């Protein structure tokens, strides 16, 4: 006898609930019973979709990262000005996390604790974004003036800080504009090429007039 067909809606509901629960407590304190109870489904149903708590935890991260990657890809177009690209990227990431606070907390807390084999897919996606944004920065500002990777990592750090310490009354679009202006202003000023300092003028020794 064939098992019942899996539902994408049920899978998505499990992942959303799991993201909320995993973000509230450390991994080892989370019980799958709580997730199934919140969703009013049997524990057996949950295990039809995810074989273990570990599988569910990792699937929660991957699902969130995949959705974010798709959103980022949609705004990284090479034909628009750099400022517009940065603002679109920043607004997309902030907006994505704004609507998925549980996922942001989960990623912020556990990203560095993933097993290396589990980080491969996320790292590959992240490197692709870093490379694409870095190339756009280098194309406008020049690689001799700016380290593209360092610049992108600084941008990501600013975005993470905004998401972490955000004011719930703020608007993602406004925050994206602030981050973009601050980032581009700092990059353009901070990575200016060094120019040789003019040689100091020779010091003039004042000779005291002798007594006559």
Q: What is the CATH number of the domain that holds 81?
A: 1.10.357.10
Within-domain flag for 55:
no
Q: Is residue 105 a part of any domain in this protein?
A: yes
pLDDT tens readout for residues 85-139: 899 999 988 988 887 877 777 777 666 666 666 567 777 778 888 888 888 888 8
Q: Give the structural domain span for 154.
A: 60-190
Question: Looking at the domain assignment, is residue 18 inside a domain?
Answer: no
Q: Looking at the domain assignment, is residue 120 inside a domain?
A: yes
Domain assignment of residue 44, yes or no = no
Closest CA to 140 of 189, 90, 83: 83
Query: What span, in angstroms and rounded, lies between the C-alpha atoms of 206 and 204?
Result: 6
**The total number of structural domains that make up the chain:** 1
- Please give the pLDDT value at position 206: 46
- The length of the chain in residues reads 212
pLDDT by residue for the chain (212 residues), tens digit each?
Answer: 355 677 889 999 999 899 888 888 877 888 999 999 999 999 899 999 999 888 888 888 778 878 877 888 888 776 788 899 899 999 988 988 887 877 777 777 666 666 666 567 777 778 888 888 888 888 887 776 778 899 999 999 999 899 888 887 889 999 999 999 999 988 877 665 545 455 555 555 444 444 44
pLDDT at 193: 54
Residue 126 main-chain phi, psi, to 5 deg = -65, -45
């Amino acid at each position: 006898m064939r098992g019942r067909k899996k539902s994408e809606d049920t899978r998505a509901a499990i992942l959303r609930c799991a993201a909320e629960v995993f973000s509230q407590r450390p991994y080892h304190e989370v019980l799958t019973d709580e997730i199934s109870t919140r969703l009013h489904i049997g524990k057996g149903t949950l295990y039809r979709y995810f074989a273990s708590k570990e599988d569910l935890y990792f699937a929660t991260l991957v699902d969130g990262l995949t959705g974010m990657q798709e959103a980022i890809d949609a705004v990284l177009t090479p034909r628009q000005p750099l400022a517009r690209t940065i603002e679109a990227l920043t607004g997309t990431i902030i907006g994505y996390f704004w609507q998925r606070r549980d996922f942001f907390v989960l990623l912020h807390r556990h990203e560095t604790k993933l097993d290396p084999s589990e980080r491969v897919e996320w790292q590959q996606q992240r490197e692709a974004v870093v490379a694409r944004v870095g190339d756009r920065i280098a194309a406008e500002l020049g690689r001799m003036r700016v380290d593209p990777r360092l610049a992108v990592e600084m941008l990501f750090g600013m975005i993470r800080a905004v998401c972490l310490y955000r004011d719930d009354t703020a608007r993602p679009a406004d925050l994206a504009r602030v981050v973009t202006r601050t980032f581009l202003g700092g990059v353009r000023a901070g990575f200016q090429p060094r120019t040789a300092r003019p040689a100091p003028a020779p010091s003039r020794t004042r000779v005291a007039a002798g007594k006559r």
